């Protein structure tokens, strides 16, 4: 899997500044940061839901095991 180094990031930023212009570049950075934050929150919510489902299943299994022992 290829890795992205500092030089590649610098080239992408330079091209983005040339294409967008220095005025619009900070606005685009804010939008991209917002999109990344939204994506991270979405993934985090999914992970929490899956974890909660797993915990609920474990609790149900424990309750059933206690009933069978009684």
Its pTM stands at 0.60
For residue 7, the model assigns a pLDDT of: 95
List the chain residues with pLDDT less than 50: none
Q: Which residues of 36-58 are buried (b: 16+ CB within 10 A; e: fewer)?
A: eeeeeeeeeeeeeeeeeeeeeee
Among 23, 26, 45, residue whose Cα is nearest residue 34: 26
Can you tell me the distance from the alpha carbon of 34 to that of 11, in angstroms, rounded to the nearest whole number? 22
Can you tell me the distance from the alpha carbon of 70 to that of 63, in angstroms, rounded to the nearest whole number? 11
- What integer best gives the mean pLDDT of the chain? 86
């Amino acid at each position: 899997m290829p890795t992205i180094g500092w030089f590649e990031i610098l080239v992408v930023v330079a091209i983005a500044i040339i294409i967008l212009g220095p005025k619009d570049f900070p606005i685009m950075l804010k939008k991209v940061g917002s999109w990344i934050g939204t994506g991270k929150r979405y993934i985090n919510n999914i992970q929490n839901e899956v974890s909660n489902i797993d915990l609920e299943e474990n609790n149900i299994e424990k309750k059933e095991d206690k009933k069978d022992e009684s």
